[in-house]
Amino acid sequence: NAGVTQTPKFRVLKTGQSMTLLCAQDMNHEYMYWYRQDPGMGLRLIHYSVGEGTTAKGEVPDGYNVSRLKKQNFLLGLESAAPSQTSVYFCASSYSRSENNYGYTFGSGTRLTVV
């Protein structure tokens, strides 16, 4: 049982390049999330999805797009990377039922540097 898997683990981009971060979960979770974590800022929600084919904006969505074509996958895209998007990106997933005692299950993160 792998839980939440993120690829790639590390990436260096040049300003203006594009890339897609992939998140895959094998727990049959309904909800999936993308967060970024920056020093002194904590975890901030970028986008989230409450089910296959649905997405919604979080706290800091500008410059990012997402897609949830399959229940198990949640993709985060950067169309034109900027240095301000240098961060560690975490994907997470959770159950949707009310007995959600475990919060999120997180992936191990993607460390992205934009130069």
Instruction: Using CB under 8 A, list all residues that contact other proteins.
Output: 4, 31, 33, 35, 40-45, 48, 50, 58, 90, 92, 94, 96, 100-109
Distance from C-alpha of 96 to C-alpha of 29, rounded to nearest angstrom: 7
Q: Which residues are 74's β-sheet partners?
A: 23
List Cα–Cα distances, 51 to 28, 67, 71, 84, in angstroms.
Answer: 11, 11, 7, 29
User: What's the closest the beta carbon of residue 30 comes to other proteins, in angstroms?
Assistant: 9
Q: How far is the CB of 15 from other proteins (least distance, A)?
A: 25
Residues 6+ apart with CB under 8 A from 84: 63, 114
Nearer to other proteins, 59 or 79 (CB): 59
If the CB atoms of residues 17 and 45 are measured against other proteins, the closer one turns out to be 45
CB of residue 107 vs other proteins: minimum separation in angstroms?
Answer: 5
